[in-house]
A and B are shown apart, each in its own frame.
Chain A
Amino acid sequence: MTSDSASSRKALSKIASNRLQKELVEWQVNPPAGFKHIPTDNLKRWVIEVNGAPGTLYAGEMYQLQVDFPEHYPMEAPQVIFVPPAPLHPHIYSNGHICLDILYDSWSPAMTVSSICISILSMLSSSPAKQRPADNDRYVKNCKNGRSPKETRWWFHDDKV
């Protein structure tokens, strides 16, 4: 299901692994509200439970995020997708890919898994309608061979949702 690109097969660099261990410890001390890290023995792939924020369209719903870290994290952005079934949202494709600039062009190494989670929850919470992106079918068909969303050239046209 995840990307077959070379970067994601490689082991984490020492720096990436130190940083992730640090993030994990801080997450355990101070997890972002609405998220739960599901413990695994794989530092390279985190699975995180997302609870829709109360008072939003997704209240009471539960989804799973899968975060895969590249060899050179945090220089390179992690790959973040929803494990299908993904929430119905104008920027979330049915294969779980998320159109969110900070995951791609606007990634900064000063961001953390925790700050990504907060951005995703904020994106969900501000959704005006439960619907798929207009080009969902075309996009999902193009991604058939397990292509990573990081290989997509995204257009970020909507800063309202």
Chain B
Amino acid sequence: MAEEEVVAEVEAAQAVYGDDCLVIDTYPPHLHVHLKPRTAEVSSEQFVEATIGMQAGPKYPEEPPVIRIIDSKGLDERRQKHLMESICSKAFELASCLMLVALCEEAVEKLSSMNHPEGDCPLCLFPLLDEDAGNNSLPFMKLMSCFHCFHCDCIIRWWNWIQMQSENESSSSSSSTVRSMPDQQGIRKMMEGSMGKCPVCRKIFLAKDIEHVLDLVGTSGNLDCAGTEIDGGFLQSEAETIRKQKIDAILKIQQENNGLIEPKKNEVLLPGMFLPQPVGLPSTESEGVSSESQSKDPAAKSDTNPESSSNRRRSRKPNNYHRKQRTQNTSKQARQWIRKDNVSDN
């Protein structure tokens, strides 16, 4: 096949994936594509992601490109292997056709079907997705920085506990002897005000990650850190009903847009999925973004001010950077859906 056609395919991939497509070589093509599940238009509904490397030789497309997973989040070894296998079998299927975009779409497809966390909540040790509980599975959330997932109740209980501890510490620190220098302590306290560390990997996350869960779960009294039993009424509570209704609405939209993950429909969409809020959630997907938001500490601090909790939702408008990124995402998403129509027609 002519070189121009291959080059045109690389351009097509760039058009489809935009900034998520890093072209290392145009010919023979060598790309790194950062892929997210189709449902991940809102970053809080995303539990997995992967960067796939595709390196083709001069004989491409007669010979398939070399494919590898450069980086991934939320995927254990087994699921990474599954992803690789399905991309490779797609490459085999499409032998001697131009396949770069099709392979990415296959990966997106797989990521979409795996877009749910696996295993147990690290805090209560009960499964995040309880198959038996069906619709009554407890809502869960993930930390944006590392994609580690927890039941909302569990992480909020822990977060409240940490906040309470640091308050107690600061009120009693004047009387006790402290080993660190006072200025260091001051800095530490300031950091703790707007950040936390993932209980699993200790990676730092912003308080905003947690605060949006507070909003969505509702700051009901049954989540207090004293560990009081969560009454059964929680699942029937108004907040929960509204949440379910909104999720049903999203499900419908997804169906209409052909953006629904086909297998495990209910399982993937029901538990713990957070609803796209009108203003959108701050995203801290990449290292760059999170460090940028960290440097805007004063702004983050004002967000966590308990007195402003009533208008917390409004105060968390995404900054320009995020807004830009979101628009890009949306347009890209639309294109992916169109592509998917084509694929499913075949």
Chain A residues within CB distance 8 Å of chain B: 13-16, 18-19, 22-23, 26, 71-72, 74-75, 108-110, 112, 153, 155
Minimum CB distance partner of B199 in chain A: A110
Task: Assess whether B157 is interfacial by the CB under 8 Å rule.
Answer: yes
Contact present for B179 and A153 (CB under 8 Å): yes
Task: Give B contacts to A, CB under 8 Å.
Answer: 122-126, 157-158, 161, 179, 197, 199-200, 202, 225-229
How distant is B314 from chain A, measured CB to nearest CB, in Å? Answer: 32
- The answer to whether B229 and A72 have CB atoms under 8 Å apart is no
Q: Is the pair A75, B126 in contact by a Cβ cutoff of 8 Å?
A: no
Q: Are A15 and B157 in contact (CB under 8 A)?
A: yes
Residue of B nearest to A106 (CB): B202
Interface of A, secondary structure class, is loop
Please determine whether B200 and A15 come into contact, CB atoms closer than 8 angstroms: no
Q: Which residues of B contact A13 (CB under 8 A)?
A: 226-228
Known: A108-B202, A109-B199. A75 touches B124 (CB 8 A): no
- Tell whether, in the assembled complex, residue A23 and residue B158 are in contact, meaning their CB atoms are under 8 Å apart: no
| Least distance between A17 CB and chain B CB atoms (Å) | 10
Q: Which residues of the other chain, B, contact A75 by a CB distance below 8 angstroms? A: 157-158, 161, 225, 227
Considering the complex, give the chain B residue whose CB is closest to the CB of A16: B227
By the criterion CB–CB under 8 Å, are A14 and B123 in contact?
no
Contact call A22/B227, Cβ cutoff below 8 A: no
Could you name 13 residue pairs across A and B whose Cβ atoms are closer than 8 Å? A14-B227, A14-B229, A16-B227, A19-B123, A19-B125, A23-B125, A72-B225, A72-B226, A75-B158, A108-B197, A109-B122, A110-B199, A153-B179
Residue of A nearest to B122 (CB): A110
CB <8 Å contact, B123 and A74 = yes
- State the Cβ distance, A101 to closest chain B Cβ, in Å: 12
Question: Contacts A75-B161, A109-B158; is A19 near B124 (CB within 8 Å)?
Answer: yes
From the candidates B197, B199, B202, B227, name the one contacting A15 in the complex (CB within 8 A): B227
Asked whether B125 lies within 8 Å of A26 as measured between CB atoms, the reply is yes
Docked complex Cα distance between A118 and B231 (Å): 36
In this complex, what residue of A is CB-closest to B177? A153
Residue on B nearest A25 in the bound complex, by CB = B125
Question: Which residues of chain B are within 8 angstroms of A110 by Cβ–Cβ distance?
Answer: 122-123, 199-200
Q: Which of B125, B161, B202, B226 contacts A112 (CB 8 A)?
A: B125
Q: Which residues of B lie under 8 Å from residue A23 when comparing CB positions?
A: 125
Distance of A109 Cα from B199 Cα, bound (Å): 6
Known: A14-B229, A26-B125, A74-B123. A108 touches B199 (CB 8 A): yes
Residue of A at shortest CB range from B153?
A: A15
Q: Which residues of A contact B227 (CB under 8 A)?
A: 13-16, 71-72, 75
Q: How far is the CB of B157 from chain A (nearest CB, A)?
A: 7
Say how far B167's CB is from chain A's closest CB, in angstroms.
14
In the docked arrangement, what's the CA distance between A15 and B28, Å? 58
The 5 closest A-B pairs by CB, nearest first: A13-B227, A110-B122, A110-B199, A75-B161, A15-B227
Q: Chain B residue with minimal CB distance to A18?
A: B124
> Smallest CB–CB gap between B159 and chain A, Å?
10
| Most chain B C-beta atoms within 10 Å of own C-beta, residue among A13, A14, A108 | A108
Residues of B within 8 A of A16 (CB): 227
In whole Å, how far is A24's beta carbon from the nearest beta carbon of chain B?
A: 11
- Evaluate whether A22 and B125 lie within 8 angstroms (CB atoms) in the complex, with A14-B229, A75-B157 already known: yes
Query: B157: which A residues are within 8 A, CB to CB?
Result: 15, 75
User: Shortest CB–CB separation between residue B55 and chain A, in angstroms?
Assistant: 38
Closest CB-CB distance, A75 to chain B, in whole Å? 4
